[in-house]
């Protein structure tokens, strides 16, 4: 959910930049390679977080009762 919001914000920002005509030589074009590297690093972090979440959910199902796991998920849902 958080990643989807970040992706939408990124798309909105890019759309605004293009609409304003700011993709010019002295503007954002020289920064594209660095930006792509940062985005690739962000993808790695998001994938790691996804794997951690999956591991946590598997551990929850092994350790907690169904009722305890459901309550825990409801509490987590309040933060996301």
Q: For residue 25, what pLDDT band results from cuts at 50, 70 and 90?
A: low
Q: For residue 65, what pLDDT band results from cuts at 50, 70 and 90?
A: very high
Query: Is the pLDDT at 28 greater than 70, yes or no?
Result: no
What does the longest C-alpha to C-alpha distance in the chain come to? 59
Q: What is the pTM for the complete model shown?
A: 0.53
* DSSP string across 9-48: HHHHHHHHHHHTT--STTTTGGGHHHHHHHHHHHHHHHHH
CB neighbour list of residue 60: distance below 8 Å, 6 or more residues apart:
69, 72
């Amino acid at each position: 959910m958080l990643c989807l919001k970040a992706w939408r914000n990124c798309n909105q920002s890019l759309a605004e930049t293009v609409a304003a005509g700011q993709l010019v030589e002295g503007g954002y074009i020289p920064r594209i390679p660095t930006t792509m590297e940062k985005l690739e690093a962000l993808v790695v972090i998001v994938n790691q977080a996804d794997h951690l979440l999956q591991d946590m959910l598997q551990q929850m199902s092994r350790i907690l009762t169904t009722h305890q796991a459901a309550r825990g998920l409801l509490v987590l849902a309040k933060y996301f």
